[in-house]
Structures are given as C-alpha cells and as structure tokens.
Structure 1
Amino acid sequence: MNENSKETAVPPVQNGVQASSLDACWIKSRHSNAEGNCVEVAPLVDGGIAMRNSRDPDGPALVYTAAEVAAFLAGAKDGEFDHLL
C-alpha cells in the first residue's frame, strides 16, 4: 500500500467476529433510512443472533444468544435505556 492509496488496513476485530466470516442473511428494520446508518441482525444456524453496523458490512459482528437478545428487547420496550437518549 502506498501513500496515494485510499485503501486502509482492516483493524483487528475486538469483542466479536468478522461479519464477513459468517454465512448469514442480514436483515435491517423497515424503519431504517436509506443512508446506511443501520443495525443489521442475522439468525445463525446454532440459534445465535449476530448484529453488525450496516456501514461496515465486513467489519465486526457481535453474536448473542436468543435469550440475551430477548432480554435486551424486553428492557428496551420497558424503557430501561431511555435515559441514554
């Protein structure tokens, strides 16, 4: 890579897996905008659920169990995270 190249090295993935390494069908909310600032989710064959940033589809994905995602969604619906906004 030379100094005129627009390519950059891929940073190491921390706290997750490389999204491009997952054989997954990614889904985003129908409420998402067209600018690509979205969280995408994908069901995995082992029952887990992966999440990634749509702006970086080859970047890191966080993988959770279905129970962890259910607990997070229940908390969000109950307003547990409203103070963060």
Structure 2
Amino acid sequence: MHEFRNGTPASALPVRWRKGRRSNPNGNCVEVAALPTGEIAMRNSRFPDDPALIYTQAEIEAFVLGAKDGEFDDLIA
C-alpha cells in the first residue's frame, strides 16, 4: 500500500478534493480529501499545487470535536 506524507504536492494525490458549504466565494477555502489509506489530506484552495497536510482519522476527529466544543473560538476575530 502506498504511504502518503506531509509535503506531498496536493495536486499529485489521487483524490477528489471538496470544501465546506460555508467556504467563501473568494477562493479562501480549506479543502479536504479522503486518501485510499484512510488518512485525510488538507490543502489551501488558493494554492492547489502546494504541499498537502496529511492527518490520521483520529487526529481529524480530535480536531473536529474540539471545534464543536468551542476550543478554538478564540482564534476567530
């Protein structure tokens, strides 16, 4: 099985990228994609060829649950 690493060019990953409905129309979006290995890739839609960040499902789950709990609300102006 192929191993995906942080820093792999996002455009080189064999995935279908998607963004949230709440993304703004200016292209300032975080996009995510499921990798064949079960990991989750993230990229900045403004720079689709730049390196992707790769996370395990457990890492994404921890982040999403923290966001739902308001742990990162202080980061939003």
Do they fold alike, i.e. is TM over 0.5? Answer: yes
User: Are residues 1:77 and 2:68 paired?
Assistant: yes
SS at match of 1:57: coil
Q: Identify the residue that residue 68 of structure 1 maps to in structure 2.
A: 59
> In the alignment, residue 57 of structure 1 is paired with which amino acid?
P
Identical-pair percentage? 65
User: Are residues 1:42 and 2:33 paired?
Assistant: yes
> Stretches of 4+ moved more than 6 A in 1?
none
TM normalised by structure 1 equals: 0.78
What is the CA-CA distance between 1:16 and the residue it aligns to? 2.4
Equivalent pairs, count: 71
Question: Considering only CA atoms, is the larger Rg found in Structure 1 or Structure 2?
Answer: 1
Q: Identify the residue that residue 58 of structure 1 maps to in structure 2.
A: 49
Gaps of 5+ in 2: 1-5
- Structure showing greater relative contact order (alpha-carbon pairs closer than 8 Å, 6 or more residues apart): 2
TM normalised by structure 2 equals: 0.86
Gaps of 5+ in 1: 1-14
Alignment RMSD (CA, Å): 1.0
